[in-house]
Amino acid sequence: MINTRNLIAAATLSLCTITGFAQQKIILGTEKLKKYVTYFNSIDTEAVKNYVPNAEAFTWLAGQIPLFECPDEVLEQNYYYRWWTYRKHLVKTPEGFIFTEFIEPVKHAGKYNSISCALGHHLYEGRWLKDNSYLQDYVKFWLYHADVGQTKQRFHQFSSWIDDAVYQNNLVKPDQEFLKEILPALDKDYTKWEAERKLKNGLFWQNDVKDGMEESISGSRKDQNQRPTINSYMYGNAIALSKIGKILGNKTLVSKYNLKADSVKKLVQDSLWNPASAFFETRKAKGGHAEVREAIGFIPWDFNLPDDKATYAKAWDQLLDTAGFNAPWGLTTAERRNPTFRTRGSGHSCEWDGALWPFASSQTLKGLVNLLTNYKQHGKMNASVFYAALHKFAASHTKNGKPYIGEYQDEKNGEWLKGDNPRSSFYNHSTFCDLIINDLVGIKPRTDNTLEIYPLIPKNQWDWFMLDNVSYHNKTLTVLWDKTGTKYNKGKGFLVFADGKVIFKGKDLKPIKVQLN
């Protein structure tokens, strides 16, 4: 399969190398990318070929993704593996580009095998691609095309944080015209969610299966339970719409959605926080808390919803507790001390009552990073806790000794609980590369011309690393740490380049803010 965009990318890459442009802007080079792609291709039967087949993967990725290297080979390999798998899910349709969740067709999908469940994850991950038109097509597909000609709702088949993800994407690739184009649809969609899922008490309800989290301990397929998931998403969406309104100078929209966000925030803290367990919990339709800690109780921090109080930060203690969420293979979806932990199925269906789900792991890690970077009250959490959890998450991407990402895993031995079911392979249901770029290295996108970086690499963990070829605000960034100055020969310490020019140099690996030239 040959396509025009890939041919252009290949020609551009060759021209850059010949002219020396690549040496000026890109320091790291594509040798490691080539090595990893060659390996990943060699272990893949490629049963499904979408827009970018394996034969074109290296060329496409070299023209699209940030390049990364570090001393932690587990993180490094998985960074490239996740980009390699993400690329597999790019599909060109008559209604624009989309990203799929399952590599194989599934019965509950809509047009072109589309599913909205992991849409927010797809947008967070893909915002670091150089060509933002893929994501813009994808957003417009869900807003304008997904439900056309369908016998049931497809966009609202699952809860969504699309407004937040659109805003976060815009912070990396500013495009006011696109925001203007889709804003009426986003505004209308929020109103639709209120009509469908908002209760008289002001909170939102959802079935666990519509959260993409079926058979959970606190959940129900019928009851109108008030869950931390959808309420956090709707808070995040309201904040995002307010900020989009500010970008576009729409004061009415800013005021409207600030009021909505304030209301949801207060209700979540007043109604979903269980003081007895020191955790955000589902509130049952019949009244009372679910009396179980689940990973969804960390989701409020994905959108910086909780107040900066030690009382709330205490919830994160459960991340370290082996009776809480700390399991040998990763972070569980429910506390391990619960009597009904892992009791809802054979282990080969879709249970969220404790097993490891990458979807939830990436959400929990994002929430932890927000706690560490945006709050003063951290409880027992620190950069080392985040790093250890991220490393364990990366190490879990394996099956039979080879790189793999599937649906969900046994928390004790890492067994993928869908077995060899082909639908589980290359499961595009979480983030990982974004956790490296936005959270570990710590590029914090902003609306202004200030570049903010908040690295969460523990002190003395690495002597060197580089994140290169990062497309941000129409510039190409390089972020590197070279403790001795002998790894890259660009200088000693922490350096940041924009379009090949040094814009920051410091001796320590610590948070910085610097003006982009």
pLDDT tens readout for residues 142-197: 999 999 999 999 999 999 999 999 999 999 999 999 999 999 999 999 999 999 99
Residue 12: predicted pLDDT: 44
Report whether pLDDT(267) > 50. Answer: yes
pLDDT tens readout for residues 209-248: 999 999 999 999 999 999 999 999 999 999 999 999 999 9
Q: Which two tokens stand for residue 293?
A: 């800690």
Report whether pLDDT(30) > 80. Answer: yes
What DSSP assignment string belongs to 453-478? Answer: E---PPTTS-SEEEEEEEEETTEEEE
Residue 102's alpha-carbon distances to 144, 153, 272, 282, 428, in angstroms, are 22, 19, 33, 28, 6
State the pLDDT confidence band at 82, using cuts at 50, 70 and 90. Answer: very high
Residue 345: predicted pLDDT: 84
Q: Which residues of 244-273 are buried (b: 16+ CB within 10 A; e: fewer)?
A: bbebeebeebbebbbebbeebbebbbebbb
Q: Give the C-alpha separation, 284 to 291, whole Å.
A: 10
Chain-centre distance of CA 291, in angstroms?
28
Bridging pattern class, strands 279-280 and 273-274: antiparallel
SS3 breakdown of the chain: % helix, strand, coil, rounded to 5? 45, 15, 40
Q: Give the C-alpha separation, 393 to 182, whole Å.
A: 35
Bridging pattern class, strands 96-99 and 398-399: unpaired
DSSP H helices in 199-269: 228-247, 251-267
CB 135 within 8 A of CB 129: yes
CB 44 within 8 A of CB 426: no
Beta bridge partners of 269: none
Q: Give the C-alpha separation, 349 to 407, whole Å.
A: 10
**Residues 417-430: what's their mean pLDDT?**
94
State the pLDDT confidence band at 26, using cuts at 50, 70 and 90. Answer: confident
Amino acid at the residue 307 = D
Q: Give the C-alpha separation, 400 to 413, whole Å.
A: 12
Bridging pattern class, strands 279-280 and 67-69: unpaired
Sign of CA dihedral 148, 150, 153, 157: negative
The DSSP output letter for 502 is E
Residue 266's alpha-carbon distances to 212, 271, 306, in angstroms, are 25, 8, 9
State the pLDDT confidence band at 9, using cuts at 50, 70 and 90. Answer: very low
- Residues 6 or more apart whose CB falls under 8 angstroms from that of 35 comprise none
Residue ranges of E strands in 61-108:
67-69, 90-93, 96-99
Report whether pLDDT(249) > 90. Answer: yes
Q: Give the C-alpha separation, 343 to 300, whole Å.
A: 27
**Residues 399-411: what's their mean pLDDT?**
97
pLDDT tens readout for residues 306-325: 999 999 999 999 999 999 99
**Residues 346-368: what's their mean pLDDT?**
92
Q: Which two tokens stand for residue 271?
A: 């109604």
Chain-centre distance of CA 170, in angstroms?
15
- Torsion angle defined by CA atoms of residues 352, 186, 224 and 278, in that order, rounded to the nearest 10 degrees: 60
Integer-rounded Cα Rg, in Å, for the chain is 22
Full-model pTM: 0.95
CB 153 within 8 A of CB 117: no
Residue 177's alpha-carbon distances to 87, 126, 170, 253, in angstroms, are 27, 19, 11, 17
Residues comprising the chain, all counted: 517
Residue 18: predicted pLDDT: 31
Written in H, E and C, the secondary structure of 25-76 is HCCCCCHHHHHHHHHHHHCCCCCCCCCCCHHHHHHHHHHHCCEEECCCHHHH
Q: In which residue are the tokens 């001796």 written?
A: 507
Residue 413: predicted pLDDT: 97
Residue 5: predicted pLDDT: 54
Among 428, 439, 357, 443, which residue's Cα sits nearest to residue 390?
439
* Local structure of 306: helix, strand or coil: coil
Average pLDDT, the chain: 94
